[in-house]
Structure 1
Amino acid sequence: MTRAAVFGAGSWGTAFALVLADAGADVVMWGRRPELCDTINSTHTNPDYLPDVALPPVIRATHDPGEAADRADLVVLAVPSQALRVNLAEWSPALPSTSVLVSLMKGVELGTAKRMSEVIDDVTGAGPGRIAVVSGPNLAGEIAQRQPAASVVAAADEDLARRIQRTCHSPHFRPYTNHDLVGAELGGAVKNVIALAVGIAAGLGFGDNARASVITRGLAETARLGAALGADAYTFSGLAGLGDLVATCMSPLSRNRTFGEKLGQGHSVAEIAAGSRQVAEGVKSCVSILDLAGRQGVDMPIVEHVTGVVRGELTPAEMLGSLLSRSAKPERHGH
């Protein structure tokens, strides 16, 4: 039996722990708060994030990183992306040297503009043979309810991707493999920022035409950045690209879409953040993605304008007016 450690007891970490358990793994979750870990163990529920979902007894929780990682074949990282480096530096000594490290995180690190797999490599020195990413249209609430979902396991090492695929292939969760780690990570990170933009449009009262336009042009921005970084263009039309983008932009379950909608309705970033224990990754990653695009000389106007709103430099209405007033261009970039 595969032994899996899931570091992060939020909604997505808990939902993926359930996927692994359904696929036959023995799962230990690490949680930041000891009291939540005790509750998970005693009630077999996670009342703070997925209160209506029963967790099987094979899932246990602990606040001790060493206990969580003990003899783990698979180490799954499911913490907010901007907290990864600090947390992983603390956990790294406890991780088995042979364990596979899987990122569920969808962000780009502030300051370094590094993708999460690059941060993992920086901290652990694990190398591409031990690092993978799971990404796709993965709204945690639906997956925890065992609704059908598909995803992508991306790794530079195809044998590694297939190994993780077998470990998380459950009756309700269908993983595909992909060799394009860069594209999978970019798709997952940028879609959060595009979802903020779609939410802003919805909050301003605009309908499906506006939302579809933002989604489509957002995908074009993502693909341009991916091309500059050597990603496979096909990835952006797949589950880790278009699939994840559509789910995150259109679902009321999406944290980033909901956050953007509240921005469009006139609430401030601080007000919205104070009202939720869930992290909308795009709020911080918009800055680091814009930084990454600048380093590559890639034009990303939607990301740029969302960053302006988040920083308080633009109102949502000003953002819309500025985007619409940009000079007309061919749809295909560079033509």
Structure 2
Amino acid sequence: MTSAAIMGAGSWGTAFAAVMADAGTDVTLWARRAEAADAINTERRNVAYLPELQLAERISATADAAQALEGADLVVLAVPSQSLRGNLEQWRDVLPQGAPLVSLMKGIELGTHLRMSQVIAEVAGVPLAQVAVVSGPNLAKEIAQKQPAAAVVAAPHHGLRAKVAEACAAPYFRPYTNADVVGTEIAGAVKNVIALAVGMAHGLGLGENTTATLLTRGLAETARLGAALGADPQTFLGLAGVGDMAATCSSRLSRNHAFGLALGEGQTLEEVTAQASQTAEGVKSCRSIVELARSVDVDMPICDGVHAILYEGWGPQEMVRALMSRSRKSERV
């Protein structure tokens, strides 16, 4: 029987713990706060994030990282992307030798421009072949309600992909496999920025034509960056690409969409950040994505516009004008 340590008891970490338990995997969930771990063990609920989700008995929780990791066959990392390096540096010496490391995170690291799998390999001192990525249209609240959903397990080798997929194949959660780690991670990171843009558009009162335009051109930006980094173009037409973008950009369950919506309605970055109870990954990753794109000479005007709103003092209407006044060109460029 497979056992997994899930490092991070936020919404997605908790929902994924439920998925793995329903797939027959024994799960130890690491929570940053001891009181959260105690509540999970006694009340079978994570009250702070998914209070409606009744957690299975095969899930236990602890605030002791070494205890969570001891003997795990799989280590699943589910912390905010920009805190991954710091957390892994603390856990590195107690990671189970040879265990696959699975990333649930969607971001590009500030400063280094590394994808999450690259950060994991570098800090943990393991080969990239030991790292897998799970991505796709997976809004945590809907997964917690056991609504049917699918995801992609990306890893360099078939054996690792198959092992992770088997450990999370629940009756309502269908994992597909993909060898394209680069494309899967780039799609997951960039869609958060596009979701901010769509949320802003909705905050401005703009409708479905604008939404569809941002989704389509946002996907084009994502694919351009992915291609420059060696990704498989087909990845962006699948669950990790258009699937995840459609869910994140269209749903008000999406933190990035909600954050963008508030900006579009006129709140400042500081006001929205102060009110947010959970991390909107696109806010910080936007900067590293724009820098990464410039380093490989890839044009990403929507991401540039979001960056200008977040960090250069633009308003959402200025972004609209900038996008609509760009010089005309072929759609396929």
Matching of residues 212-231 of structure 1 within 5 Å:
212-231=212-231
Describe the superposition over 1:299-327 as per-residue Cα deviations: whole angstroms up to 9, x where unpaired.
Answer: 10000010011114210111111111111
Asked whether the equivalents of residues 2 and 26 of structure 1 are also in contact (C-alpha less than 8 Å), the reply is: yes
**Equivalent position of 1:269 in the other structure:** 269
SS at match of 2:218: helix
SS at match of 2:107: coil
Residue 45 of structure 1: how far off its partner (Å): 0.2
Rounded Cα–Cα distance in structure 2 between residues aligned with 1:110 and 1:98: 28
**Equivalent position of 2:319 in the other structure:** 319
1:57 aligns with 2:57: yes
TM-score by length of 2: 0.99
Please give the root-mean-square deviation of Cα atoms over the aligned residues, in Å: 0.7
SS at match of 1:328: coil
Asked whether the equivalents of residues 118 and 128 of structure 2 are also in contact (C-alpha less than 8 Å), the reply is: no
**Equivalent position of 1:68 in the other structure:** 68
Asked whether the equivalents of residues 103 and 133 of structure 1 are also in contact (C-alpha less than 8 Å), the reply is: yes
TM-score by length of 1: 0.98
1:254 aligns with 2:248: no
**Equivalent position of 1:128 in the other structure:** 128
> What percent of counterpart residues are identical?
59
Asked whether the equivalents of residues 79 and 105 of structure 2 are also in contact (C-alpha less than 8 Å), the reply is: yes
Matching of residues 1-335 of structure 1 within 5 Å:
1-333=1-333
Using the TM superposition, name which of 303-312 and 268-277 deviates more: 268-277
Rounded Cα–Cα distance in structure 2 between residues aligned with 1:220 and 1:166: 32
Asked whether the equivalents of residues 154 and 177 of structure 2 are also in contact (C-alpha less than 8 Å), the reply is: yes
SS at match of 1:55: coil
Asked whether the equivalents of residues 128 and 157 of structure 1 are also in contact (C-alpha less than 8 Å), the reply is: no
Q: Which runs of 5+ in 1 are unaligned?
A: none
Asked whether the equivalents of residues 202 and 264 of structure 2 are also in contact (C-alpha less than 8 Å), the reply is: yes
Rounded Cα–Cα distance in structure 1 between residues aligned with 2:312 and 2:301: 17
Q: Which runs of 4+ in 1 moved over 2 A?
A: none
Name the aligned partner's letter for residue 189 of structure 2: A
SS at match of 1:129: helix
Name the aligned partner's letter for residue 7 of structure 1: M
Residue 276 of structure 1: how far off its partner (Å): 2.2
Residue 100 of structure 1: how far off its partner (Å): 0.7
Q: Which runs of 5+ in 2 are unaligned?
A: none
